[in-house]
């Protein structure tokens, strides 16, 4: 697949001012490629750096190290006006639709802002274009003179998506696009994102803590933990047989309804608190919460390496030898299928 967006060795260090100056590495060397028309899902828990990575990809913040390449061009050092042509092709959708729209602007003003910003003068064609955008996202007959607070969350997320589509981008980076919405609305937004991709062949980077959503929409999944990618591969491989103990814990925490009601089903409950980027453990970043951890894990940080079959990237000393079987079992048990083998 032809690469559209490439993140290469991205590092982002924040300086924490509270409680004595110290550097916190939110993203610690992440490489990721998004192909044309591809959906990459980025999962992880709070503090894993997934949202920081999204903001880096969108060039809303500057990486401390690493390169960002968009459609063959290095855009790492581009700023301001020089970024405009890239921004036109790379759009964003955020978690909280009400907060991400200016509450003092009417829907019409919000939807014309992309055109104004990029100097596209539509004149009399502007209003029909806005109507067309709205109806494309399922918001026909919207009163465009209303303000955002007069709409529901689901409607606002559609409007935010319409704004992202206005300039016909090649890629949309969506940070938790369904997380703030009610369950029946989440499904609508997932459907809309899939519909748009089928119509427009655009690429997505979708960031979420919701494995169900990621598993449904993504072609490829990258799992982040404490600023690094610990496992990455085709969605079917990651969801069907996760290798990394952390991916396994994540998946087992969110099984199907059927599996949850099955009294024989047991989830892996991780002990300990979510990791803190200000206090990164030595060796494997996950070892304090890993039930398989042994000396090598405590001492040596495992590199993200391709698996022997080339099907995925994995950062675990013990994978796949000691983890693959359990992964397969979780993948099946999660779907409520009879477990082929015991863990």
Partner 1 sequence: MILSVRDLSIGFRRIGGDLPAVDKISFDVREGETFVIIGESGSGKSLTGMSIAGLQPATSVTSGSIRFKERELLNRPDAELRRMRGREIGLIYQDPLGSLNPVWPVGDQIAEALRAHGLASGAAAARRAVEMLDRVRIPDPARVATAYPHEISGGMRQRAMIAMALIAGPSLLIADEPTTALDVTIKAQMLELLAELQREMALTIILITHDMGVVAEVADRILVMYAGRVAEIGDADAIMRTPSHPYTAALMTSAMISEAEPKQQLNAIVGVAPGLGSFPDGCHFHPRCPLAQDDCRSFVPPLRRLGDVALACHHPVGSDTALMAEA
Partner 2 sequence: MSAVLPTARPRRSRPRGVLAPVALLVIVILIAFALVPGLIAPDSPVALNMADRLKPPSFAHLFGTDEGGRDIFSRVVFGTRYSLGVAIAIVFASALFGVVYGAVSGMARGSADNVMMRIVDLFFGFPALVLALAVAASIGRGLGSVALSLTIIWWPGYARLVRGEVLRLRERPHVEAARALGVSNLTILRRHILPFVAQEVNVRVTTDIGYALVAVTALSFLGLGANSPTPEWGLLIRDSRPYFGSAWWYLVFPGTMIMLTATAFSLIGDSLAARRGG
Q: Which residues bind partner 2 (CB under 8 A)?
A: 55, 58, 60, 80, 83-84, 87-88, 91-92, 94-96, 99-105, 113-114, 117-118, 160, 163
99 interacts with, out of partner 1, partner 2, none, CB within 5 to 8 A per kind: partner 2
Our measurement of the distance from residue 229's CA atom to the centroid of its chain's CA atoms, rounded to an integer in Å, reads 12
Spatial distance between the Cα atoms of 190 and 169, rounded to a whole number of angstroms = 19
Q: Give the footprint of partner 1 on residues 207-246 (CB under 8 A).
A: 209, 211-213, 215-217, 219, 235-236
State which of residues 2, 21, 79, 257 lies at the interface with partner 1 (CB under 8 A).
Answer: 257
C-alpha distances out from residue 318 to 86, 147, 285, Å = 41, 54, 14
- SS3 assignment, position 332: helix
Q: Does 284 bind partner 1 (CB under 8 A)?
A: no
83 interacts with, out of partner 1, partner 2, none, CB within 5 to 8 A per kind: partner 2
- Regarding beta strands 220-225 and 39-43, do their DSSP bridges make them parallel or antiparallel, or are they unpaired? parallel
State which of residues 233, 255, 320, 327 lies at the interface with partner 1 (CB under 8 A).
Answer: 255
Spatial distance between the Cα atoms of 26 and 30, rounded to a whole number of angstroms = 11
Among residues 333, 140, 149, the alpha carbon closest in space to that of 252 is found at: 333
State which of residues 261, 291, 294, 305 lies at the interface with partner 1 (CB under 8 A).
Answer: 261
Q: Does 122 bind partner 1 (CB under 8 A)?
A: no
State which of residues 102, 135, 152, 282 lies at the interface with partner 1 (CB under 8 A).
Answer: 152
The DSSP call for residue 48 is S
Sign of CA dihedral 258, 189, 40, 287: negative
91 interacts with, out of partner 2, partner 1, none, CB within 5 to 8 A per kind: partner 2
102 interacts with, out of partner 1, partner 2, none, CB within 5 to 8 A per kind: partner 2
Q: Give the footprint of partner 1 on residues 173-202 (CB under 8 A).
A: 182-188, 190-191, 194-195
Q: Give the footprint of partner 1 on residues 16-45 (CB under 8 A).
A: 45
For 257, residues 6+ apart whose C-beta sits below 8 A from its C-beta are none
Spatial distance between the Cα atoms of 27 and 13, rounded to a whole number of angstroms = 7
Long-range contacts from 239-242, C-beta under 8 angstroms, 24+ separation: 239/211, 239/215, 239/331, 240/328, 240/331, 241/324, 241/327, 241/328, 241/330, 241/331, 242/327, 242/330, 242/331
270 interacts with, out of partner 2, partner 1, none, CB within 5 to 8 A per kind: partner 1
Rank residues 103 and 152 by Cβ distance to partner 2 and give the closer one: 103
Contact footprint for partner 1 (CB under 8 A): 45-46, 152-155, 182-188, 190-191, 194-195, 209, 211-213, 215-217, 219, 235-236, 249-250, 253-258, 260-261, 267, 269-271, 273-274, 276, 334-335
């Amino acid at each position: 697949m032809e690469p559209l967006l490439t993140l290469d060795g991205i590092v982002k260090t924040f300086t924490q001012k509270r409680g004595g100056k110290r550097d916190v590495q939110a993203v610690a060397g992440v490489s990721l490629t998004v192909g044309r028309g591809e959906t990459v899902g980025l999962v992880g828990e709070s503090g894993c750096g997934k949202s920081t990575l999204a903001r880096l990809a969108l060039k809303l913040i500057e990486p401390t190290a690493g390169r960002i390449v968009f459609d063959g061009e290095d855009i790492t050092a581009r700023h301001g006006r020089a970024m405009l042509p890239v921004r036109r092709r790379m759009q964003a959708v955020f978690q909280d639709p009400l907060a991400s729209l200016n509450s003092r602007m009417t829907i019409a003003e919000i939807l014309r802002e992309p055109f104004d910003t990029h100097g596209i003068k539509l004149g009399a064609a502007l209003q029909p274009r806005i109507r067309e955008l709205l109806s494309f996202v399922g918001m026909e007959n919207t009163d465009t003179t209303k303000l955002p607070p007069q709409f529901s969350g689901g409607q606002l997320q559609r409007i935010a998506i319409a704004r992202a589509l206005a300039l016909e981008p090649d890629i949309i980076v969506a940070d938790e696009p369904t997380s703030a919405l009610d369950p029946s609305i989440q499904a609508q937004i997932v459907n809309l994102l899939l519909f748009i991709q089928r119509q427009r062949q655009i690429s997505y980077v979708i960031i979420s803590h919701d494995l169900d959503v990621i598993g449904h929409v993504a072609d490829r999944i990258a799992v982040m933990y404490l600023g690094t990618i610990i496992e990455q591969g085709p969605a079917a491989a990651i969801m069907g047989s996760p290798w990394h103990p952390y991916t396994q814990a994540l998946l087992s925490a969110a099984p199907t309804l059927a599996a949850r009601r099955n009294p024989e089903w047991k989830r892996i409950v991780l002990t300990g608190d979510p990791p803190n980027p200000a206090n990164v453990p030595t060796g494997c970043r996950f070892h304090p919460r890993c039930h398989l951890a042994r000396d090598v894990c405590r001492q040596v940080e495992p590199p993200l390496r391709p698996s022997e079959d080339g099907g995925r990237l994995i950062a675990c000393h013990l994978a796949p030898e000691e983890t693959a079987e359990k992964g397969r079992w979780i993948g099946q048990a999660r779907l409520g299928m009879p477990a082929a083998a015991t863990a």
